[in-house]
């Protein structure tokens, strides 16, 4: 459980944490000199009853809201600190907005510097409480208890600890973070410990982590890396779970490679992304509607990036309203479904800071959305687990998703995922295309690929009627299927149904292939005759195509077919008459048998050819293992590669 401070600069947050915990969270020399918090600070608090919770102390200055947002993302219970002598200030309001948008569930209103209250006049505390209550209407703090404390005199500290303990106990009974979900720990610090190497710290928002686990640090370090050790509140532990802070000693990485904004995840579950589908809410206090397309700052975990915000199916988002949107970020970030984000503008709102709204992540790495996408995402948000899994697989297209990836993206427990996969497969919505990787494709995607197989083969036969069939690998590449196992799973039903045929590495439609039309046969004869007449000095493909008045691509198809049949021989970009090549080979072998080696000049004298033809021919005989190049000469290697 994580307790976090919130509130305006110089309202006593760090002093309060020190008074409660005995730990000074201001660790930077600049913080000591200026007397304000510039960076996140961390401590732990022992509560009545023996429970220990983590404490995150955040900066209060408007310039450091980025750091504040990074720390607030893991907070369960917020202490909203307001100085008795100043009351509600701009960052007080902004911090309440940020905590609300990030899903903080409970809080305590803390009036700090209570030792000043006697000098502020009778009824001052009641006026301050009224101001705070008005600020918190409609937020998670609306019914929060209020405690006045003084870090200087110790007044109210015992009451505050007791109230925190009570709130923590109530939080335990509420649904919180998912310990059996995908591992996700945004990194808020990285440093080196002598003798141990790189240590990263953060709050686990999901999942669990143990010593010797394999992890990735995204974006940038997919690893896998190894967890060498774990600490919690300064003590070594064997494991940590969602809702707890941890210091993770990661082997195989240097500290300078790690920075705030990365996230610790499990390899193969989540990947860095630059595109997110989200459910976006604009704060009621925002002065004007959000345009259908705008550029804003987005905080994702502990990372911040510029993003183009595109509203889906609405012309504008009114203050206080919610809609679906797609974010296209300038830099890749690590994210997970259900993660809450903060949207900030470049201009501060009067009395409230620059925070505009927040969002909940729905889909990672989605395609570019077209009109009508909002209804699609609305259906996803309310779908059952099996429907959600099938939907995600369909969105992934021919790449599909592994069970690890589906687990990370579907926001379901392992047991729910197993049931969802079984249900979807039984209902014919999912197809297991790779048993080893446990990769699934949506049945609709498989069906669409099979239709494309038939259409692609049909076009191939129309374009190349003289070919026996289409090479299997060419067909796979034309379909855009990344895995050969997936391709095999797609074509297997077509082969079983005899909708297509396969012979060695060729695939064709039944009754197609090797069907020479009169025009095609005539062209083949013309090509063979032209190359026979040219002998060892054939024209370039483009020149021959122009002479025969056919497109270059069509002539190249004919030449490739003739080469496959052995009627012509290809050497680089040239095609030679096969009989001419056979005659030259006899002369070359005879020369080498007598002389032992042949130089380029001797080869030129033997053939009477220029380098334009000599070089490709020499390389052809090397490739056929007739000759072997040794320095500037070639020797006989034996016909056929003996």
Q: In this structure, what CATH number is given to the domain that contains residue 280? A: 2.40.30.10
Which has the minimum average pLDDT: 443-452, 459-468, 560-569, 608-617?
Answer: 459-468
If you average pLDDT over residues 377-398, what whole number do you get?
82
Tell me whether residue 130 is exposed, middle or buried, using C-beta atoms within 10 angstroms of its C-beta: 0 to 12, 13 to 18, 19 or more: exposed
Regarding whether 159 and 11 lie in a shared domain, the answer is: yes
**pLDDT classification of 86: cutoffs 50, 70, 90:** confident
Which has the minimum average pLDDT: 341-345, 517-521, 573-577?
Answer: 517-521
Torsion angle of the four alpha carbons 126, 128, 130, 135, in this order, in degrees rounded to the nearest 10: -160
For residue range 433-458, what is the model confidence (pLDDT) as tens digits?
Answer: 888 889 999 999 999 999 999 999 99
67/140: higher pLDDT: 140
Regarding whether 156 and 12 lie in a shared domain, the answer is: yes
Give me the pLDDT at residue 71, please: 55
Tally the residues of the chain.
642
Regarding whether 14 and 148 lie in a shared domain, the answer is: yes
Question: What single DSSP character describes residue 11?
Answer: S
Give me the pLDDT at residue 59, please: 64
Regarding whether 281 and 261 lie in a shared domain, the answer is: no
Question: What single DSSP character describes residue 367?
Answer: P
38/197: higher pLDDT: 197
Regarding whether 167 and 92 lie in a shared domain, the answer is: yes
If you average pLDDT over residues 114-129, what whole number do you get?
88
Give me the pLDDT at residue 65, please: 53
245/63: higher pLDDT: 245
Q: How many domains does the chain have?
A: 4
The CATH number of the domain holding residue 98 is 3.40.50.300
In a domain, 84, yes or no: yes
Tell me whether residue 388 is exposed, middle or buried, using C-beta atoms within 10 angstroms of its C-beta: 0 to 12, 13 to 18, 19 or more: buried
Domain boundary among 324, 357, 377: 377
Domain boundary among 265, 288, 305: 265
Regarding whether 78 and 138 lie in a shared domain, the answer is: yes
- How large a percentage of the chain has pLDDT more than 90? 39
For residue range 502-554, what is the model confidence (pLDDT) as tens digits?
Answer: 888 889 898 877 666 666 778 889 999 999 999 999 999 999 999 998 888 88
Please state, in angstroms and rounded to a whole number, the distance separating the CA atoms of residues 401 and 408: 10
Regarding whether 64 and 166 lie in a shared domain, the answer is: yes
In a domain, 293, yes or no: yes
**pLDDT classification of 233: cutoffs 50, 70, 90:** confident
Query: Does position 92 have pLDDT exceeding 90, yes or no?
Result: no
Give me the pLDDT at residue 33, please: 46
Structural domain that includes position 237: 184-265
Regarding whether 363 and 343 lie in a shared domain, the answer is: yes
In a domain, 557, yes or no: yes
In a domain, 288, yes or no: yes
Give me the pLDDT at residue 347, please: 61
Torsion angle of the four alpha carbons 602, 607, 609, 611, in this order, in degrees rounded to the nearest 10: -40
In a domain, 122, yes or no: yes
**What's the chain's average pLDDT?**
85
If you average pLDDT over residues 156-177, what whole number do you get?
80
On whether the pTM is more than 0.75, the answer is no
Residues 6+ apart with CB under 8 A from 159: 147, 149
Give me the pLDDT at residue 35, please: 47
Please state, in angstroms and rounded to a whole number, the distance separating the CA atoms of residues 454 and 459: 9
- The dihedrals phi and psi of 237, each to the nearest 5 degrees, come to -135, 165
In a domain, 394, yes or no: no
Query: Does position 330 have pLDDT exceeding 80, yes or no?
Result: yes
Regarding whether 336 and 237 lie in a shared domain, the answer is: no
In a domain, 418, yes or no: no
Cβ atoms of 284 and 206 closer than 8 Å: no
For 70, the enclosing helix (H) or strand (E) is helix 65-72
Cβ atoms of 55 and 33 closer than 8 Å: no
In a domain, 251, yes or no: yes
Regarding whether 311 and 204 lie in a shared domain, the answer is: no
Give me the pLDDT at residue 25, please: 65
Regarding whether 100 and 12 lie in a shared domain, the answer is: yes
If you average pLDDT over residues 557-580, what whole number do you get?
89
Domain boundary among 345, 377, 409: 377
Regarding whether 342 and 300 lie in a shared domain, the answer is: yes
Which residues, in sequence order, are bridge partners of residue 305? Answer: 298
Give me the pLDDT at residue 426, please: 87
The CATH number of the domain holding residue 620 is 1.10.10.10
């Amino acid at each position: 459980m994580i307790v976090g401070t919130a509130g305006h600069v110089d309202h006593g947050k760090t002093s309060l944490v020190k008074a409660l915990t005995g730990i000074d969270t201001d660790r930077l020399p600049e913080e000591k000199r200026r007397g304000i918090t510039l960076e996140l600070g961390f401590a732990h608090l022992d509560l009545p009853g023996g429970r220990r919770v983590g404490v995150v102390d955040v900066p209060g200055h408007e310039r450091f809201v980025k750091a504040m947002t990074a720390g607030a993302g893991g907070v369960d219970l917020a202490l909203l600190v307001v100085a008795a002598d100043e009351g509600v200030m701009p960052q007080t309001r902004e911090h309440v907005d940020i905590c609300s948008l990030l899903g903080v569930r409970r809080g305590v209103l803390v009036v700090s510097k209570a030792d000043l209250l006697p000098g502020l006049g009778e009824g001052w505390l009641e006026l301050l409480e009224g101001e705070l209550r008005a600020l918190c209407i409609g937020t998670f703090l609306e019914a929060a208890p209020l405690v006045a404390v003084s870090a200087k005199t110790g007044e109210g500290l015992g009451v505050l600890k007791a109230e925190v303990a009570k709130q923590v106990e109530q939080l335990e009974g509420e649904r919180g973070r998912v310990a059996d979900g995908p591992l996700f720990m945004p990194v808020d610090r990285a440093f080196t410990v002598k003798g141990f190497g790189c240590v990263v710290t953060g709050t686990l928002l999901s999942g669990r982590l143990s010593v010797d686990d394999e992890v990735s640090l995204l974006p940038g370090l997919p690893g896998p890396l190894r967890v060498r050790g774990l600490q919690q509140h300064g003590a070594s532990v064997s494991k940590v779970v969602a809702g707890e802070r941890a210091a993770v000693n990661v082997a195989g990485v240097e500290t300078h490679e790690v920075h705030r904004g990365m996230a610790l995840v499990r390899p193969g579950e989540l990947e860095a992304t630059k595109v997110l589908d989200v459910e976006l809410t604009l704060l009621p206090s925002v002065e004007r509607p959000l345009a259908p397309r705008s550029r804003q700052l987005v905080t994702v975990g502990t990372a911040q990036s510029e993003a183009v915000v595109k509203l889906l199916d609405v012309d504008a988002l009114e203050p206080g309203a919610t809609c679906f949107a797609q974010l296209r970020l300038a830099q890749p970030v690590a994210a997970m479904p259900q993660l809450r984000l903060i949207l900030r503008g470049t201009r501060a709102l009067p009395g409230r800071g620059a925070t505009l709204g927040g969002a909940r992540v729905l889909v990672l790495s989605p395609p570019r959305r077209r009109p009508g996408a909002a209804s699609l995402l609305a259906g996803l948000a309310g779908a059952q687990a099996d429907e959600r899994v099938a939907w995600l697989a369909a969105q992934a297209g021919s790449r599909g998703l592994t069970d690890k990836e589906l687990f990370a993206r579907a926001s379901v427990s392992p047991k729910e995922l197993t049931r969802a996969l079984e249900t979807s497969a039984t209902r014919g919505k999912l197809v297991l295309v790779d048993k080893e990787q446990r990769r699934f494709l949506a049945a609709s995607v498989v069906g669409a690929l099979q239709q494309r197989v038939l259409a692609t083969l049909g076009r191939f036969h129309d374009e190349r009627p003289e070919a026996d069939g289409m090479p299997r690998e060419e067909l796979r590449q034309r379909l855009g299927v990344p895995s050969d196992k997936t391709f095999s799973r797609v074509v297997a039903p077509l082969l079983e149904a005899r909708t297509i045929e396969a012979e060695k590495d060729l695939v064709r439609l039944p009754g197609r292939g090797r069907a020479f039309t009169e025009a095609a046969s005539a062209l083949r004869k013309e090509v063979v005759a032209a190359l026979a007449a040219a002998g060892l000095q054939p024209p370039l493909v483009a020149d021959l195509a122009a002479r025969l008045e056919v497109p270059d691509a069509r002539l190249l198809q004919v030449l490739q077919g003739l080469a496959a049949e052995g009627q012509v021989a290809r050497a680089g970009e040239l095609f030679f008459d096969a009989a001419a090549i056979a005659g030259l080979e006899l002369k070359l072998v005879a020369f080498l048998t007598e002389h032992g080696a042949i130089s380029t000049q001797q080869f030129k004298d033997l053939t009477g050819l220029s380098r334009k033809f000599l070089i490709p021919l020499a390389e052809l005989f090397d490739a056929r293992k007739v000759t072997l190049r040794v320095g500037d000469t070639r020797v006989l290697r034996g016909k056929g590669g003996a």
